[in-house]
Chains A and B, each alone.
Chain A
Amino acid sequence: MRFIRRRVGAGGLPRTSGRSEPRVAARTGWRRFRLPSRRGWLWRSASLTGLVAVWEIAARLAGSNMLPTPVAVLAAVYRYTRSGQLPLELGITLARVGAAFVVAMTVGTVIGFMMGRSRKLNLLLDGPLVLALNIPALVIIILCYLWLGLTDVAVIVAVALNKIPVVVVTTREGTRAIDSRLLAVAQVYHVPRTVTLYRVILPQLYPYLIASARNGLALIWKIVLIAELLGRSNGVGFELSVFFQFFDITSILAYTLAFAVVVMAIEAGVMRPLEKRLLRWRG
């Protein structure tokens, strides 16, 4: 009964046939009542199963080494995991991803915040920012290797440099959207600076920070692989370059699959709960 009342009240729409319900639900924003339902998982797993099925059929039709079957790829994953090679390389790459992520988020957020707060600083750095946004990742990686040597530091610096401008832009946008009326409340009550930061300012930035963290993870692990391929002798990117030279498509897919699963697990296990926790007041 409550749901029905909500639907009519919130959407201002009369109840019509059952078929229009999902549309009404999406519009009135109580979609969240449905999302965690079993049906949501059904759809998710259906799409996954469908994907694997198409892959299997295509592999059988092709019948060549160019497209191994899902089972062959899974077997390779199992083999590399047992030998310990896959976890090791995966760990090395993830460490680089993590380091670059932390550096990029920290530096980008601070610069973006300052640019959002200070008109002068914004004028000063806006030109270089646009430039930095448009320098190809590959150029930054090559230059870092040349300047800093073929080291992990070079990888982390290069990847962070690629990501920082994006974080800056998002954070600057968020900082500009900070509600000065809420800052006035903090001033009137002499709220200490740190409390103001954590209870008044940062909560307004969380949606922006979460967005750039999510995009950041996706962007960074892709760039780390390229950097590894170009100038490191370990990590997933390096392994992929070896398999490339041997035309070992099964192994390439095995590593890709493992890596994708790990990244998805981080997204589901860390990013989404974090977002839920930080933005729970919206619920």
Chain B
Amino acid sequence: MKGLNIHVIEKRFDSVVVLADIDVTISGGEFVAIVGPSGVGKTTLLSMVAGLDADYTGAIRYDGVPLAEPGQSPPGLGMVFQEPRLMPWLTVRDNVRLAEAERLARDRSYVSRADSLLDEVGLRTSGDAWPSHLSGGMQRRTALARAFVVEPWLLLMDEPFVSLDLPAANQLRELLRRLCARVRPLVLFVTHNLSEALVLADRILFLGDTPARVVLDYRVEQTGSHDLNSPEVAALSRRLLARHQGLLSDVAGVDVDEGRRGKEGL
């Protein structure tokens, strides 16, 4: 089987089954958004792919080979968490270099790309700053630089742009688009904002139901618009929800309204 195959027979927390019967295959370089209501298990699914949660039945493979050694994360992985998760005691540059530590230790001829990445995300002058002195948007830029400095083939993002104001979130989405165009990773992007998924992704997996499964696997018609609030995006999400009303009843109705009002999630 070609590509990334996520096959989850069952994932439970104690006696509660949260994810079941998931079997999706994603080809390399695809940008896939995972959309669903909060608490549905999106983050859990991402943790499983990241190798941070191995307590489930099923298998995650790439081209038929297990993605990672048991108890480890897949090699060549980049990950952006819901919060920036920077080490407050490391400078911005050292935070980015931390992701390179393995490469720097393994390959003597490898020269750190931290500064060029910081340049790319617009933090050229902030390399020596402490993370606590940066704004929320700048901290997220640092997290993006850290994820892309390893030139990941697989990028996992867990609602990376929530709790930012709209202009800052728009800028970061634009930055993400640029970085992805250069590195071409396979992206799994968790969000509960349908409009965000529509402007970023090639394909959307809607999680729903209890226990959660993929209720709709949707290939995004490109609107050409990068603006969450554009009429094209609003029309697209309305059409999508109308067509799949039954399936998506508990998925994303609220988020379309949110998108129209110009709010970002939460």
Contacts and interface: CB of A to CB of B under 8 A. Distances in A.
Interface in B119-169: 130, 132, 146, 150
Nearest to A202: B89
Interface stretch (A30-38, A127-135, A177-185): A177-185
A212 to B, nearest CB: 19
B14 interface: no
Nearest to A185: B85
A189 B130 contact: no
Given A184-B52, A281-B130, A189 B98 contact: yes
A191 B75 CA distance: 11
A195 B101 CA distance: 7
B112 interface: no
Contacts of B146: 189
B101 A188 contact: no
A195 B85 contact: no
B229 interface: no
B265 interface: no
How big is chain B's contact interface, by range?
A: 20 to 34
Nearest to A196: B101
Decide if the interface of chain A is mainly helix, strand, loop or mixed: helix
A187 B72 contact: yes
Contacts of A182: 85, 87
A199 B81 contact: no
Contact of A203 (B73, B89, B132): B89
Contacts of B79: 185, 188-189
B266 interface: no
B50 interface: yes
Interface residues of A, number: 18
Contacts of B101: 189, 191-192, 195, 199
A28 to B, nearest CB: 16
B107 interface: no
Contacts of A188: 50-52, 73, 77, 79
Nearest to B103: A190
B181 interface: no
B142 to A, nearest CB: 12
Contacts of B81: 181, 184-185
B26 interface: no
A200 interface: yes
A24 B130 CA distance: 26
A281 B88 contact: yes
A188 B72 CA distance: 8
Nearest to A195: B101
A275 to B, nearest CB: 13
Q: Which 9 A-B pairs have the closest CB atoms?
A: A203-B89, A189-B99, A190-B102, A281-B89, A195-B101, A188-B79, A191-B101, A188-B73, A281-B130
23 contacts: A181-B83, A181-B85, A182-B85, A184-B52, A185-B81, A185-B87, A185-B98, A187-B51, A187-B72, A187-B73, A189-B98, A189-B102, A189-B146, A191-B102, A192-B102, A199-B90, A199-B98, A200-B87, A200-B98, A281-B90, A281-B130, A281-B132, A282-B88
Interface of A: 181-182, 184-192, 195, 199-200, 203, 281-283
